Amino acid sequence: METRDDQGSSAPSVPSTILCCQADNCTADLTDAKKYHRRHKVCEFHAKAPVVIVSGLQQRFCQQCSKFHEIPEFDDMKRSCRKRLAGHNERRRRTTGESSTRESSTGGS
């Protein structure tokens, strides 16, 4: 019977699987890639590519969601999906509106 040492060993931990990009047929090894690319399992090339085949579908990596979405979810060549971009723009409008309201209420009298 084999016993397991739950205290760990002094040997460095080695991942049981090699990290690779989600894009179909991509052989990029993400072991030495930036932490962001390893976390989201996408190589730098496919993170920026306008069209990537993932699970047999044409997709693009959204830099806001950090996920692949189908191409129709993006406007033109943008790298953020419409849904996340709308939320981002709404927050910007709200912040801009609040700061201009404060300026006019504290303005000179």
pLDDT tens for 52-92 read 999 999 999 999 999 999 999 999 999 999 999 898 889 88
Q: Is 98 helix (H, G, I), strand (E, B) or coil?
A: helix
Q: Label residue 14 by pLDDT band (50, 70, 90).
A: low
Amino acid letter, 93: R
| Mean pLDDT to the nearest integer, 84-106 | 76
Q: Find the range with the poorest average confidence among 13-17, 53-57, 69-73, 95-99.
A: 13-17
| CB within 8 Å of 94: residues ≥ 6 apart | none
Q: Is 97 helix (H, G, I), strand (E, B) or coil?
A: helix
The token pair at 28 is: 């990029």
Per cent of the chain over pLDDT 70 is 72
pLDDT at 19: 85
| CB within 8 Å of 18: residues ≥ 6 apart | 29, 31
pLDDT at 18: 74
pLDDT at 102: 57
Strand partners, 59: 52, 70
Mean pLDDT across the chain: 83
- 46, 52 in Cβ contact below 8 A? yes
Res. 93: pLDDT tops 60: yes
